[in-house]
A = this chain, B = another copy of it.
Amino acid sequence: MATRPIVFGEITGIEEGHWFEGRKEMMPTSFHRNWGAGIDGNGKEGTAAIVLSGGYEDDEDLGDEIIYTGAGGNDPKTGKQVKDQSWEQSGNAGLLKSMDEGLPVRVIRGHTHESEHSPDKGYTYAGLFSVVEAWEETGKSSFKICRFKLVYSGESSVKKPGQIDLDYGEREKKRVQGSIVRIVRDSEIANDVKRLYNYECQVCGTTINTKSGRYAEGAHIKPLGRPHNGDDNPDNLLCLCPNHHVMLDRGVFTIENNFTLQGIEGQLVIKEGHILSDQNLKYHREHVFRGKV
């Protein structure tokens, strides 16, 4: 369907808050190239735009933070999930690509779940978002769904190469920032865990020596924040090097209850007194781990 080249980022003349009467109007500018699908993208190039149409019963729209359900497996009439979704599905694979490469995703909010005669119809451009997490769940209809967390990117109105030329006029030119690929946060509790391991990665033993001391990252097994709501607690925390932190978060490997690794070779180093929650390990295996590469 999508024969025009994919375009990432802002598009001339379509500012945040822009209202579209229908999906057709989004096509000539490549703002969203697909008439029927909610996701405009693929696993090779990434995903450039999504429509939040209220078509998926599991979507959650919190304004600057969106929990988005991937494509596939739903009945187009009722929106109900009728079979499993897959990470190989083109739009879902595209959202993973956008996450890994920090590509900006245009988010479009549809108002068409209201009656067609409601004044609240059409679509609004909500701005550029970054895909910051992907995981799988059993949806309300007991089928597997692919889920994505997107956060509003804020400073987004910048020209990118290969993007349709923008006429800023008097608009302030914002600094090129690109999309967020990942945010690493630490807490006092994470620091306790890091100190216990003397800042050595529990997977590979690596530590990063800086002038101010050793550097490691506190990695949560069950992710913090919506919708996982993992705890900031030692039984949910590992001391990892940045490489293995990325790999844990991206589901490249996971951990058995006996600390054997799955997805990569090896065994997690566990110091005496550091007790991991079996529940959290199970959550990671079932929701975050994406199987052997």
Chain A residues in contact with chain B, CB under 8 A? 8-9, 43, 87, 93, 96-97, 99-103, 160-163, 175-191, 194, 206, 208-213, 215, 217, 224-225, 229, 231-232, 241-243, 245-247, 250-252, 290-291, 293
Contacts and interface: CB of A to CB of B under 8 A. Distances in A.
B194 A291 contact: no
Given A242-B245, A243-B206, A212 B178 contact: no
Nearest to A195: B101
B209 A187 contact: no
B187 A100 contact: no
Contact of A208 (B183, B213, B243): B243
Nearest to A190: B178
Given A97-B212, A177-B187, A183-B184, 5 more contacts: A96-B211, A100-B215, A101-B186, A103-B188, A211-B293
Contacts of A102: 184-187, 190-191
A250 B293 contact: no
A87 B212 CA distance: 9
Nearest to A192: B161
A250 B215 CA distance: 10
Contacts of A211: 87, 96, 251-252, 290-291, 293
